[in-house]
Amino acid sequence: VSAAAQPSAAASPPAVVTFLSDYGLRDEFVGVCHGVIATLCPSARIIDITHGIARHDILGGALLLASALPHMPVGVHIAVVDPGVGTGRGALALELGDGRVLVGPDNGLLVPAAQAAGGISRAVEISRSPLALERVSATFHGRDLFCPVAARLAAGTPFEQAGEPFDPARLVRLAMPTASIEGSRLRADVRLLDGFGNVQLAARAADAEALGLRPGDQLELLLADGAVHGARFVRAFAEVPAGELLLHEDSAGFLALAVNGASAAERLDLRAGRQLLLRRGEPGAGLPASAGR
C-alpha cells in the first residue's frame, strides 16, 4: 500500500477552532479554554479573534464576529458573550451554508455571522450536550460547554451528536443598527467603536454616493445633542491634518468617523447605539432641529 493511497494526518491541514469572547486576557479564562480544546482535539489550531469585547456587549460581539469570520479558515467558531449564563438561556451549535460551525449562547450573538456566511443549514440545542464536560458549572460555560462541544466537533464528532435538533426560526435575534437616506441627509446608527476611537457607522459606500459625496468633499455632522461638526470625506487618515475629523470607508466596508492621530469617539462623545445625521457641504446653515435619540 503506497503512502499516497492512505489518508495522511500530516498532509491535511489541522482542524481550526476560533474563539471570541468578553473574557479579557487578565485572568486565566482564555488559557483554560485553550487547555480544554487542546485536550479534546490535540491537533486543533486555535485562533483568538479577540477577547476584548466589552463585558456583556452581545451586539458588539455579534457585529465583530460577523466582520471577522470571513477572514478565518473554515472551522468551528466559538463565541461567548453571555450575561445570561446559568439562567435558562439556550445554547447552540449552528451548521452554516459554507461549512462552518458556530457554537455559543442563544442570545443573538451568532446570528449576524451566520447570515453573512451562507445562512444556517442545521441547528442543535446543546445545553445538555453529551459532548460537554461531565460537570457543567453555573458560571463558566465557555470552559464546560462551548469549548468541549466545539473541540469534539473539530475532532470529527458528527454535528447531529452535539445536541437536540432546533428550529433556526426560533433563534433569539438582536435589533441591528441601521442607516437610511432621508432627502439630502444620511441618518446612521453608530455600529462599532474600536480601541483607537474610530466610530463605525451602519452605512456603506453606497450611502456616501447617495449623498453625492466624493473624496475630498466637506461634510456636516449633526449629533443627537444638537452639536454640529465638520469633517472631510477621504480615503486615508493622512489626507487630513493631524487632529482633524474625517469620514472614510473603513476596512470592513462601512463608513467610519475618525480623527487623524486621536479618538473620534472621545471628540464627538459617541458610543455604540447613538444616531447621527450627515450631509454634504460646509457645516453651519439650515440644520434640522434634532438628530433623533
Give the CA distances from residue 138 to residues 21, 89, 171, 207, 237, in Å, rounded to whole numbers and listed in that order: 17, 12, 22, 45, 46
Give the CA distances from residue 125 to residues 56, 79, 93, 128, 148, in Å, rounded to whole numbers and listed in that order: 22, 15, 7, 8, 14
Contact between 204 and a second copy per CB under 8 A? no
Question: Taking contact as CB under 8 A, which single stretch among the options 4-12, 97-105, 206-214, 284-292 is the one that binds a second copy?
Answer: 4-12
DSSP-based three-state secondary structure for 168: helix
Residue 22 phi, psi dihedral angles, 5° rounding: -105, 25
Closest approach of a second copy to the CB of residue 218, in Å: 19
Closest approach of a second copy to the CB of residue 86, in Å: 3
Which of 162/193 has CB closer to a second copy? Answer: 193
Residues 67-126 binding a second copy (CB under 8 A) are 67-68, 71-73, 83-87
Contact between 209 and a second copy per CB under 8 A? no
Contact between 128 and a second copy per CB under 8 A? no
Contact between 249 and a second copy per CB under 8 A? yes
- Under 8 Å between Cβ of 153 and 170: no
Contact between 216 and a second copy per CB under 8 A? no
Closest Cα partner for 49 from 26, 19, 73? 19
Closest approach of a second copy to the CB of residue 253, in Å: 8
Length of the chain: 293
Question: Taking contact as CB under 8 A, which single stretch among the options 36-44, 170-178, 217-225, 269-277 is the one that binds a second copy?
Answer: 36-44
Which of 9/175 has CB closer to a second copy? Answer: 9
- CA-based torsion, 242, 247, 248, 252: positive or negative: positive
Q: Which residues are 255's β-sheet partners?
A: 249
- Under 8 Å between Cβ of 217 and 232: yes
Q: Which of 128, 170, 235, 271 binds a second copy (CB under 8 A)?
A: 235
Q: How far apart are CA 72 and CA 18, in angstroms?
A: 8
Contact between 275 and a second copy per CB under 8 A? no
Helix %, strand %, coil % of the chain (to 5): 25, 30, 45
Instruction: Report strand pairing: 245-249 vs 101-105.
Output: unpaired
Contact between 175 and a second copy per CB under 8 A? no
Q: Which of 126, 231, 250, 276 binds a second copy (CB under 8 A)?
A: 250
Report which DSSP code applies to 171: S
Task: Write the interaction track for a second copy spanning residues 135-164; mark x where CB under 8 A is met and - where it is not.
Answer: --xxxx--xx--------------------
* Site size with a second copy, rule: CB under 8 A: 65
Closest approach of a second copy to the CB of residue 9, in Å: 4
Q: Which of 127, 168, 174, 237 binds a second copy (CB under 8 A)?
A: 237
Report the C-alpha dihedral over residues 227, 233, 237, 243, rounded to 10 degrees.
-30
Q: Provide the binding-site residues for a second copy, judged by CB under 8 A.
A: 3, 6, 8-11, 13-14, 16, 18, 20, 24-28, 30-32, 34-36, 38-39, 42-43, 45, 47-52, 55-56, 64, 67-68, 71-73, 83-87, 137-140, 143-144, 194-196, 235-239, 248-251, 261
